[in-house]
Amino acid sequence: MTDVVLYDLALSPNNVKARIALNYKGIAFERVDIPVDDDRSRVVEASGQPLTPVIRHGDVVVPDSAGIMRYLEANFPDTPKLLFADRPAMMEANRMEKWILQNINEPANMVFSQFMSGERDPAVGEEASGLLNERTADFEARLEGHEFLMGDTMSFVDITAAPFVAYGMLPEAKAAQHPIAQYFHDELKLGQGRERTRAWCGRVMAYDRP
Ligand SMILES: N[C@@H](CCC(=O)N[C@@H](CS)C(=O)NCC(=O)O)C(=O)O
């Protein structure tokens, strides 16, 4: 039994971030499933705002995937680390997180917006795919000789980026599970020359288990 509850919109990359962090730290949690067409009233009731993920831990409620990772780190000290005790490393990690939120999320958000609009312009998928490929060039360089973006252990930087990159390399079997996944599979491509990025993404996403 656990006292962590996750309000979880299953397909959303920000929710994947929370699940990976919880699983990596070995913190058991219960999911409150928030379907895509849910009115979000349970999320607002719990946290005062409608976006997911949100966790409840006893009497404490934490919205926002980045906030959740920091909360788990500070409040479950005997679990594997996602942040850095070293000041320069933490500052560099924060800088990377900010860059990822602005640059790596954008291609997936472009494709998602098009899905929601009900229109399909192949030029949008091509542009988003080009951006994803271009913007993961730095990852490919960082991963040379390293398993993760900040070195040889996983950190919150990896968890921030991987769920968004993963949408550019969805396997057919996963695509078949939901129309949104199928749309991403068809429209967003990580592209050539990203073998280290692909392998890294798989390592991080392996923690997104039920
Ligand atoms: N900064 C927030 C963003 C949360 C967010 O935008 N969540 C999306 C899902 S990825 C959401 O709840 N969208 C509104 C909705 O689906 O109703 C975080 O990192 O958790």
- Residue 209: pLDDT band with limits 50, 70, 90: confident
Structure tokens at 130: 């080009």
Residues 87-205, CATH architecture: Up-down Bundle (1.20)
pLDDT of residue 42: 97
Please state the φ and ψ torsions of residue 32, each to the nearest 5 degrees.
-100, 110
Cite the DSSP H helix spans in 28-104.
41-47, 65-75, 87-103
The answer to whether the CB of 160 is under 6 A from ligand 1 is: no
pLDDT tens by residue, 100-113: 999 999 999 999 99
- Considering the chain, tell me which residue range(s) the CATH 3.40.30.10 domain(s) occupy: 4-75
pLDDT tens by residue, 13-57: 999 999 999 999 999 999 999 999 999 999 999 999 999 999 999
Considering all CA atoms of the chain, what is the largest pairwise distance in Å, rounded to the nearest integer? 49
- Spatial distance between the Cα atoms of 182 and 191, rounded to a whole number of angstroms: 17
Domain covering 4-75 assigned CATH 3.40.30.10 in the classification: yes
**pLDDT of 210 higher than 90:** no
- Spatial distance between the Cα atoms of 29 and 3, rounded to a whole number of angstroms: 7
Owner of token pair 């409040």: 75
Owner of token pair 């000789």: 145
The answer to whether the CB of 53 is under 6 A from ligand 1 is: yes
- Spatial distance between the Cα atoms of 157 and 55, rounded to a whole number of angstroms: 20
What is the 160 CA–ligand 1 centroid distance (Å)? 13
- Residue pair 7/52 in contact (Cβ under 8 Å)? The answer is yes
Smallest CA separation from ligand 1 atom 14, residue:
51
Smallest CA separation from ligand 1 atom 9, residue:
12
The answer to whether the CB of 64 is under 6 A from ligand 1 is: yes
pLDDT tens by residue, 129-149: 999 999 999 999 999 999 999
Q: Please, what is the average pLDDT of the chain?
A: 97
pLDDT tens by residue, 157-198: 999 999 999 999 999 999 999 999 999 999 999 999 999 999
How many helical (H) and strand (E) elements, i.e. helices and strands, does the chain have? 11, 4
